Amino acid sequence: MPNPTNTETDSVFNIHTHVFTKDHVPKYLAKKFIVWPFYMVLGIDFVIQIISWFRRKRKFTYTARNKRWTLYQLRMFFVRNPLFNFFYTLFKWATSFIFAYYFLIWIRPLLDTTTLGRWIYPLMDTYLDFMPLVEPGWNQFLLLLLLAILFGHLRNSVTKLAKGRLKRLVGKQRLELLLRYLKIIDFSKNGKMGYIYKNLKQQYPPGSKFVVLPMDMEFMAAGQVAEPYLVQMDELMKLKSNNKESLHPFVFVDPRRIETQDPNTPFFDYDGSNPEKIELNPCKLKEYLEGGACGIKIYPALGYYPFDKNLLSLWLFCAQNDIPITTHCSVGPIFYRGKKKKAWDRHPVFEEVISGSLDKGTAVLERLRLIQVHNKDFQANFTHPLNYCCLLMPHFLKQLLDDYADERLNKLFGYANGSLERNLKTLKINLAHYGGAEHWDTFLERERYHTTNEVVFGPAVALNLQNELKQPGNFYQHWHYSDWFSLISSMLIEFDNVYSDISYTSHDNQYLNLLSEIMNHRKINERVLFGTDFYVVSNHKTEKAFWIDMRNQLAPEKWQKLAQENPNRFVGAS
């Protein structure tokens, strides 16, 4: 364990944590997970009541403790009685036999014509004809259900089989999203942000620091939140004032909040009279930054692209003032729940070849077609790492400005006649989650897919995206088939101010070898950040288990880069 006296060396800087509560989560978060009207019944408050009932604290009362002791003594009386144990073992065998018999009878229509059925059912008819008959169908099912409910050894076996079947039926990724959804509800039910932050902080060595990322879910079309986002931010800033050294809050920005803001009390407003040095006018964002907030958080999966028109002026302000931005860059349980807009059928910027040949000059180009039907799948288009090339590469920034045709933006960027005086190449961005575990798996599993090997065999330029993406024919391949691990690794190498945290993704120790390997690259070693995604990751492991596992499996110099030097450089903290 860390030496408690050496706080400077042992301290950790966690770049990705949350402390929002149930009051900040929309009522119908189950929408798109559960069909209408059931998601309305299973509102956030109802689910929390169910979870609280299962985890009720009555077990800590004296009455409950005494009751458990009495039950223990009674149980041990039987456990220590050899005669009882003998008959109990016979009883378990008998009930298991009865359950197996009626289960085979229940599924007889499925097995009767199979080799197994032709062998086993004649034997049962001959030697077990003394067993009572039960009407087929629901009666047999209800009998099996009653046996499983009454007898624990049967219940445990059935539960284990059901879990395995559920994982195969639902799918690993969908089940993972469901568990993360339940964890968000479970942990966020704790009433106060201060309580959640204390739970986080106490699991780390003294002197540790934390970036706390709020969430603005008012525009995700999942119902109202109990406490508005601006109230959440006010509470977070109060929490900052009580934890000045350890807590580093970011400000969540949603472009729709800017678009619909009250001009008398704006969320974001600026003075662009001197485009070389944008100044903030009185607004909520200015209030937060001057009060100790040190960065911006966005979550494009909620229904927008990171290059939204309402964000471009903010990004220029951030680039000029070295303000870091953390953006969600994986798929997860928090995504836009409303109806898909027709405009989303195609990417706003990137193009693909739909016929003809680029080499022969006959290629027909159209905006990239996005064919995911369901919101949970379509969110990947909003969070795709290549979207940030539209900000970082002047080539695409010019295209955006052409499409938006906004005089104020053009003046801000000094854009006229195809010439761009100011760009966003220095924008400091953290692509959170490093793409997600499923893309780390894809990178490791693909053997002959050449793009997944470029990071290994061409580490100087990796995928060479700054040149590759200027050729329209390459978009389709990279967008749909290049794994995000390779794309993000390449962006860390190619762009000077792009970072990526390994929050949530690296909860499984199987990924630590790959993390250690990529940190051998000189540039990636300077850009990868420690983060956990507390408290969402708690369904896999505790905070202390997360950092202790990682610290003791990485080389000391890599851990120091990951958990101290790089986060401090990203945030701009000493």
Give per-residue burial for 73-86: e unless 16+ CB within 10 Å, then b: eeeeeeeeeeeeee
pLDDT over threshold 50, residue 5: no
Predicted pLDDT at 492: 96
Q: What is the DSSP letter of 218?
A: T
Q: Strand pairing partners for 353?
A: 365
pLDDT band, very low/low/confident/very high, at 115 (cuts 50, 70, 90): confident
Identify the CA nearest to 498 among candidates 567, 560, 431, 424: 431
CA distance 424 to 397: 8
CA angle 52, 57, 60 (to 5 degrees): 165
CA distance 276 to 316: 9
Predicted pLDDT at 538: 81
Cβ neighbours around 467 below 10 Å, total = 11
Q: Per residue in 302-333, pLDDT tens?
A: 999 999 999 999 999 999 999 999 999 999 88
Q: How far is CA 278 from the centre of its chain?
A: 33
Identify the CA nearest to 347 among candidates 488, 498, 475, 483: 475
Give per-residue burial for 322-352: e unless 16+ CB within 10 Å, then b: ebbbbbbbbbbbbbbbeeeeeebebbbbbbb
Q: Per residue in 232-261, pLDDT tens?
A: 999 999 999 999 999 999 999 999 999 999
Identify the CA nearest to 385 among candidates 291, 500, 529: 500
Q: Which amino acid is at 204?
A: Y
Identify the CA nearest to 30 among candidates 285, 304, 337, 326: 337
* Percent of residues, the chain, with pLDDT higher than 70: 86
**Higher confidence at residue 155 or residue 459?**
155
Judged on CB neighbours under 10 Å (0-12, 13-18, 19+), 383 is buried
Identify the CA nearest to 13 among candidates 330, 324, 435: 324
CA distance 509 to 210: 22
Q: Which of 172-186, 210-224, 301-315, 427-441 has the lowest mean pLDDT?
A: 172-186
- Can you list the positions of beta strands (E) in 245-301? 247-252, 270-271, 279-280, 295-298
User: What torsion, rounded to 10 degrees, do the Cα atoms 406, 412, 417, 422 define?
Assistant: -140
- Can you list the positions of beta strands (E) in 396-538? 415-416, 419-420, 429-432, 498-501, 528-529
| Residues comprising the chain, all counted | 574
pLDDT over threshold 60, residue 4: no
